[in-house]
Amino acid sequence: MPGTSVRSLLGNRFKSVAGQVFILQVAIVVLLAAGSLLALVLQSRHDIDREARNRSVSVAETFAHSIGLPAALESRNPSALLQPLTEETRKAAGVDFIVVMDTNGIRYTHPQPDRIGKRFVGTIEPSLAGQVHTESVQGPLGKEIQAIVPVTASDGQVIGLVSAGLTVKNVSGVVDRQLPVILLAIATGLALATVGTWLISRRLRRQTHGLGTQEMTRMYEHHDAVLHAVREGVLITDGDGRLLLANDEAKRLLGLPEDADGRHLGEVPGLDRRMADLLLSARVATDEVIESGDRLLVVNQRLTHPGGRPEGTAVTIRDSTEMQVLTTRADTARRRLKLLYDAGGDIGTSLDVVRTAEELAAVAVPRFADYVTVDLADPVLVGDEPGPDADMRRTAVHGIRSDHPLYPRGRLIDFLPSTPQARGYGTGRAELVPDLAEAPGWHAQDPPRAQAIIDYGIHSLIAAPLRARGVVLGVVNFWRSQKPEPFDEDELSLAEELVARAAVSMDNARRYTREHALAETLQRSLLPRALPEQSAVDVAHFYLPAQSGVGGDWFDVIPLPGSRVALVVGDVVGHGLHAAATMGRLRTAVHNFSSLDLPPDEILARLDDLVQRIDHDGDGGDGDGGILGATCLYAVYDPVSRNCTMARAGHLPPLLVAPDGSTEIVELPAGPPLGLGGMPFETAELRLAEGSQLVLYTDGLVEERTRDIAEGLELLRRALSHPDRDPHESCRAVLDLLLPDRPTDDVALLIARTRTLGPDRVVQWEVPFEPSAVGVLRGAAARKLEEWGLEELSFATELILSELITNALRHGTAPVRVRLLHDQTLTCEVWDGSSTAPHLRYAATTDEGGRGLFLVAQLSEHWGTRYTPEGKVIWAEQTLPGSAGGPGAPEPALAAFLDVDPI
């Protein structure tokens, strides 16, 4: 500020607590640095002196024990021999001198040659006695540190002495050279300590706002005055439970004596026991109401953390004797009503038993209980009604922590009769256990786990049975750990009401689960368990019922005469048992109609009539007069001509995947759904290349809430555009890309890859319209069978062809054709231009004809008639040799042919 001198600023700064602490700390650091310097110098000198003595002893002993030294001492001129040797050794060993002398102390060697022959300066008596002696003397080189070692002969007699040492000047020089390093290290440490002290002082200055001791004293006085003037009690305790501070209001509310400060809370007279327990517990408390005498006190307690660790508590107390009671009761009632309201909306959002149990547990934690477990009778999970002795399966577990010792989810529990769960399940009434530690019946279920639960801190339990429509489905357990007070009767009533509301949703889910399971079982029993053998297509299929309810989707692969195959996919409107049953009726009808070998449009027309009759008879609809509807796609593929004829009734068109991987949606006329009536169905005919894939599906695969049908069809095309995959791989690829996690509608998928019956397996002849052609055709057929290796079938085949061709020539019209198909069976087909249907009958003894079809029926495995726009085809199938029912199997009874006239 203007007019303020630098001296006054510095003076103000160092008058503050932070400034005084800074000066004190700097002085202490300087004194410590000086003491450290002195100690380091003394220690260094001591270490170097010791090192010098040790080196002197080592060099002297080494030289004294060297080989040849005793001989050199006994020579005529020891100095001539030893002087060069000692000088060389001295320089190599790093000492200042090595002196060899006789037992009288007369030198033989010395770094200064003029000293040779003179008496050694030092004490030699200990060495003459055989000892190693070190000393510090004033010698020829100055102040010296030397070691004297005896030289002994082989008989142990001392014959000479060796002395080695260093001058004090050189030793001190080492210390002097180390001193700058020591001073630099101390200076660095002093600087770092000063900076650290400055940082600490700066932080202290910020915390004290630069106040001096007088200002802080005045602040404390003001703070003390305010503390004792507020109308709220304040207590501060240390980590040992000792009362450090209590203002006047706290002493008034708690009835504390004036000398309560500094005393242990357990020894303070007049302090309510519950209040003392709370203060000594050192736990966090928020607006916790405690009765103290005739007062109702609201207590808030928080841990204090000086130094980053809990070392006591700070407590505030206010008196809300009247208002708090009313407010607490109103708030409790509000929270309970809110809990019940939320339970009505959050429980039962799905018709799934497990999901409903999880929702119940989630609603109650932590607003009502710290942990909630739901144990359902095991039959409930599959939709059945539980029996009186049913085991419980833990279906849901929810809590404020996950490391609890309660039974885990999925555990099958057989509760003992003494447990509150078993009593509640048996009587249908909720059980309250205020103190689990004092409940021997509950302990008996699993003593180690019960002790672990108590040690964990769970202390109170409510076991409320799930009772709906007179049936107890299971037990809901509410556990308390955080609140010290146990569950009471009011909370027992709340638990009963909460569980009663959830029990209705649970029973609805159970009933739905049972119906869903029955419908799914019915539907899967009505769907094909294994596809029939046929060689027209390679097939992969998939079916998945909806999660929300089984629908009426179905698929089928039906072998037809002439190595053809029918591919069917359909979808019945609605879900549940009725839809599954209707699907079964329609699938049976499709099988029956396909046995008539009708075109796809005629089969759909007959199905449409059937659905209308079902609806008119009252078996369809939903009970409100709704019309039963269904969609269907029917396709017939012929591996000989590679033609595929198909028609659809309100169903999605199929997808065609060419061998090169290109995909297209088949342009198929859209007929009305089954059951509407009044509209004809149209067919479309395609010629398919070998290896093409025909994909039939229901809308549950391509349509869901998150995408429309167009997007689903595009994803389907993308998944199928890989011609190198077989139908099973294509099926997996489609499901991986399109199948939803929880399908809301049934999903049916049928992928058929076409095959071809080549010319080497098919032969066809045009038959002249004259009787003589029968013998010619028999011979041609026999030769073809021999070529195919089917000689065993020649006799029966010739008889069949003779009868069928004769009938065509006698009762039909031209043109007449014969075709043999060598596939999984041998099929004989005779075509003519007449639509007259042949009939199988028993011929009388006097009849001249009528036995032809009887012969055909006896010699073939199957036979029949199908109609074409040009006329009809009569066909007969024979089992190939080596297959079940083929040649080698028991022959037909010969008695069937005894009344047959010779041909």
| pLDDT given for residue 228 in this prediction | 67
Q: What is the pLDDT of residue 580?
A: 75
Confidence (pLDDT) at 808: 85
Q: What is the pLDDT of residue 523?
A: 65
Strand partners, 96: none
The crossing angle, in degrees rounded to 10, of helices 489-526 and 577-595 is 0
What pLDDT sits at residue 849? 52
CB 372 within 8 A of CB 399: yes
Least confident of 13-22, 91-100, 138-147: 13-22
Average pLDDT on 377-398 reads 86
Instruction: Show Cβ contacts of residue 853 under 8 Å, excluding neighbours closer than 6 positions.
Output: 803, 807, 838, 839, 840, 841, 863
Angle between helices 727-738 and 709-720 (to 10 degrees): 140
| pLDDT at position 468 | 87
Q: What is the pLDDT of residue 899?
A: 46
Measured CA to CA, the distance from residue 648 to residue 522 in angstroms comes to: 26
- 44 pLDDT more than 70: no
Three-state SS letters, 762-791: EEEEEECCCCCHHHHHHHHHHHHHHHHCCH
pLDDT digits (tens, 9 = 90+) for 581-618: 788 888 888 989 988 888 999 999 999 988 888 777 65
Is the CB of residue 505 less than 8 Å from the CB of residue 351?
Answer: no
Q: Are 29 and 193 in contact (CB under 8 A)?
A: yes
Which neighbouring-strand residues pair with 556?
568
Structure tokens at 656: 């065609």
What mean pLDDT is predicted for residues 850-877?
Answer: 83
Dump the DSSP string for 172-193.
Answer: HHHHHHHHHHHHHHHHHHHHHH
pLDDT, tens digit (0-9, with 9 covering 90-100), for 505-535: 888 888 877 877 776 676 666 667 677 888 8
Q: Match 């073809």 to its residue by tokens.
A: 784
Per the CB < 8 A criterion, the answer to whether 472 and 415 are in contact is: no
Strands 630-638 and 564-572: antiparallel
Pairing of strands 762-767, 816-822: antiparallel
Helical packing angle, 489-526 and 323-346, nearest 10°: 10
Which helix (H) or strand (E) is 495 found in, with range? helix 489-526
Contact (CB, 8 A) for 200 and 184: no
Per-residue model confidence as pLDDT tens digits over 790-836: 989 988 888 888 888 888 888 888 899 999 999 889 999 998 988 87
Whole-number pLDDT of residue 901: 43
Q: Residue 691 and residue 229: Cα distance in Å, rounded?
A: 96
Residue 570 clears pLDDT 80, i.e. is over it? yes
Element (H, E) at 474: strand 471-480
Q: Count the alpha carbons within 13 Å of 872 in the hemisphere toward its beta carbon.
A: 19
Q: Flag the least confident range among 10-24, 247-261, 555-569.
A: 10-24
Band (213; pLDDT cuts 50, 70, 90):
low
- Looking at residue 464, its pLDDT comes to 93
Give Cβ neighbours of residue 724 (< 8 Å, ≥ 6 apart): none
Helices 323-346 & 353-364 angle (0-180, nearest 10): 160
Task: List Cβ neighbours of 265 (8 Å cut-off, separation of 6 or more).
Answer: 237, 241, 242, 243, 271, 276, 279, 280
Contact 304, 236 (CB under 8 A): yes
C-alpha span between 373 and 386 (Å, rounded)? 19
State how far the Cα of 344 lies from the Cα of 335, in Å rounded to an integer: 14
| Whether residue 18 has pLDDT greater than 70 | no
CA separation for the pair 178, 40 (Å, rounded)? 10
Residue 624, pLDDT score: 42
What is the β-pairing status of strands 392-399 and 412-413?
antiparallel
Cα 570 to Cα 360, 384, 590: the distances in Å are 39, 31, 10
pLDDT tens digits for range 279-310: 888 888 888 888 777 777 888 988 887 555 55
Tokens (6 digits) for 354: 């497990």
pLDDT tens for each residue of 89-141: 888 888 888 899 988 888 889 888 888 888 888 888 888 888 888 888 888 87
The SS3 of residue 340 is: helix
The pLDDT, as a whole number, for residue 627 is 44
Residue 724: DSSP 8-state: T
Strands ordered across the beta sheet of 537-544: 537-544, 747-754, 693-697, 655-657, 663-665
Is residue 147 within 8 Å of 56, Cβ to Cβ? yes
Task: Using the predicted structure, report yes or no on whether residue 895 has a pLDDT greater than 50.
Answer: no
Distance between CA atoms of residues 164 and 99, nearest Å: 6
pLDDT higher at 676 or 175 = 676
pLDDT of residue 628: 61
pLDDT computed for residue 847 by the predictor: 45
What's the pLDDT at 431?
Answer: 92
Q: Which of 35-44, 103-112, 173-182, 765-774 has the lowest mean pLDDT?
A: 173-182
> Contact at 8 Å (CB) between 18 and 201?
yes
C-alpha–C-alpha distance, residues 64 and 86, integer Å: 11
Report the C-alpha gap between 240 and 589 in whole angstroms. 87
- Tell me the pLDDT of the chain averaged across its residues: 81
Tell me the pLDDT tens digit for each residue of 738-785.
Answer: 887 777 788 889 999 999 988 889 999 998 888 888 888 888 988 989
pLDDT at 390: 80
Q: H-type helices in 65-167, by residue range?
A: 69-73, 78-93, 125-128
Distance, CA of 599 to CA of 636 (rounded, Å): 8
- What pLDDT shows up at residue 898? 41
pLDDT (tens digit per residue) in 339-373:
888 877 778 788 788 888 999 999 989 888 999 99
pLDDT at 222: 66
Among candidate residues 750, 733, 637, the one with its CA nearest the CA of residue 688: 637
**pLDDT at residue 526, as a whole number:** 66
Mean of the pLDDT values across residues 625-642? 82
Predicted local confidence at residue 638, as pLDDT: 93
pTM summary value: 0.52
Single-letter code of the amino acid located at 718: R
Residue 344 has what pLDDT?
A: 76
- The model's confidence at residue 903, banded by pLDDT at 50, 70 and 90, is very low
String of DSSP letters for 34-83:
HHHHHHHHHHHHHHHHHHHHHHHHHHHHHHHTSTTHHHHHTSS-HHHHHH
The more confidently predicted of residues 561 and 390 is 561
Give the integer Cα–Cα distance in Å for 849 and 797. Answer: 20
pLDDT for the residue numbered 214: 65
Residue type, 179: L
Beta-carbon count within 10 A of 748 CB: 25
Q: Which tens digit of pLDDT belongs to each residue from 393-409?
A: 999 999 999 899 999 99
Residues in contact with 348: Cβ distance below 8 Å, sequence separation at least 6, in sequence order: 356, 359, 502, 504, 505, 506, 508, 509
Distance separating alpha carbons of residues 97 and 146, to the nearest angstrom: 9
Contact yes or no for 306/278 (Cβ under 8 A): no
